[in-house]
Amino acid sequence: MQARILLIVGGGIAAYKACELVRLIRKAGMSVRCVLTDGGAQFVTPMTLAALSEQAVHTSLWDLKDEAEMGHIQLSREADLVVVAPATADLLARMAAGIADDLATTLLLATDKPVLAAPAMNVRMWQHAATRRNVERLRADGVTVLEPDEGPMACGEFGPGRLPEPEAILRNIQASLGTSGRLSGRHVLVTAGPTHEPIDPVRYIANRSSGKQGFAIAAALAYLGARVTLVSGPVTLPTPAGVTRIDVETARDMAAAIDTALPADAAILVAAVADWRVEPSGSKIKKQGTPPSLSFAENPDILAGLAADPRRPALVVGFAAETDDVIANATAKRARKGADWIVANDVSGDVMGGADNRVHLVTEAGVEDWEQMPKDQVAARLADRIADALA
Ligand code: CTP
């Protein structure tokens, strides 16, 4: 059956991109019905959206003709997914507060379907404490709020706040609906982020991993229809659409979460796991003249453990963050840990936390050098290769 999207178009300059989104949704084989807020109607006309969607466009809560043809509640029930794009700061605030003072917000309050919001606003509005609070509230309520893109803005400023590109919104729609296929029916485990190893109740050992590459891989796998379990160390990233996330703190928690999540068809271990832990003190270590000495114990190697496990996934992929002899170290690591593939990267620059990555894929067949690209493109390419390998 054709998936049905209800698209709510808010009032921002990015509303013009909603036209392209409607076109892409139709091209992907889904139907789309549009609702325009008053603000949205200042930027695109109902006529444009009606022509592109080939469906009536709804604008008013008080339109008797609309109400006679299709009840407002029914509008939101007759969709498989509600998409808000662009989601303005005002619309996000009204959604977070549960306000229902126009057709869009009434539908959002009345719906029992998943909601995906693609924000677009000025960078300062996006970074304002009120918007941060509203986004956090909405995510806790189960709404998938995408991260806006970063770049030059219509208002002349620069930063996060641009509407994600329509292609990216479409990918998230497909991930939410689990409809794009190649990995459907497959279960894939992904680890991401750093681990924190406590020293005492207030201190811990950590590393610079941001989780971006691992989260992008989880999103790319979900986009291909996989059931993805993402075991994440402490990071500040939103959960990608369609992904089940388990938050952990230490390496041992991560190992236990992976063990519980088995069986799986593939495991992609991207996390920067702490190699060592200390026996944490139950109370805060006080300054007493000489600095304390920490004694370390080795953490379990999750990758090596999984590769040797009788329940070993058919494909086990590790990452190797190296600063020297990248390929030689990665090749040795592949053999030592029993992984099928190692994705190696040079982390001596600003890769950790950065937006781009340049990786080498080390497999039984040899080494492939991939050009530098954004982390989500590395993820899409790797997910594609994983789908090929599992096919
Ligand atoms: N890894 C793991 N468990 C650990 C350490 C690492 O699962 N305790 C995984 C990482 O998720 C990654 C791969 O092993 O996929 C390589 O991690 P890396 O830190 O580069 O390897 P190490 O074993 O720590 O080797 P070294 O520190 O000597 O480079």
pLDDT single digits (tens) 313-337: 999 999 998 989 999 999 999 999 9
Stretch (H or E) spanning 231: strand 227-232
pLDDT at residue 69, rounded to an integer: 58
> Beta strands 243-247 and 144-145: pairing type?
unpaired
Are 59 and 35 a contacting pair, CB within 8 Å? yes
Tell me which of 213, 230, 254, 269 to substitute to probe ligand 1's pocket, judged by most ligand atoms within 8 Å of the beta carbon: 269
Q: Is the CB of 301 under 6 A from ligand 1?
A: yes
* CA dist., res. 86 & res. 95, Å (int): 13
Is residue 168 within 8 Å of residue 249, measured between CB atoms? no
By the 8 A CB rule, do 95 and 117 touch?
Answer: yes
- All domains in the chain, ordered by first residue: 4-177 (3.40.50.1950), 187-390 (3.40.50.10300)
**Positive/negative CA dihedral, 52, 85, 112, 240:** positive
Is the C-beta atom of 269 inside 6 A of ligand 1?
yes
In this structure, the number of other CB atoms found within 10 A of the CB of residue 64 comes to: 8
- pLDDT band at residue 64 under the 50/70/90 scheme: low
What confidence score (pLDDT) does residue 350 get? Answer: 75
Q: Which residue out of 51, 70, 155, 314 is catalytically annotated? A: 155
Give residue 70's pLDDT band: very low, low, confident or very high (50, 70, 90).
low
Ligand 1 contact via 267 beta carbon (within 6 Å)? no
Query: What is the Cβ-side half-sphere exposure of residue 145, based on CA atoms within 13 angstroms?
Result: 27
34 is catalytic: no
CA distance 82 to 34: 10
Q: Is the CB of 188 under 6 A from ligand 1?
A: no
Distances (CA, A) of 98 to 89, 104, 284: 14, 12, 43
Over residues 235-292, the pLDDT tens digits come to 999 998 889 999 999 999 999 999 999 999 999 999 999 999 999 999 999 998 899 9
**Ligand 1, pocket-test mutation among 254, 325, 333, 346, most atoms within 8 A of CB:** 333
Q: What is the pLDDT of residue 233?
A: 98
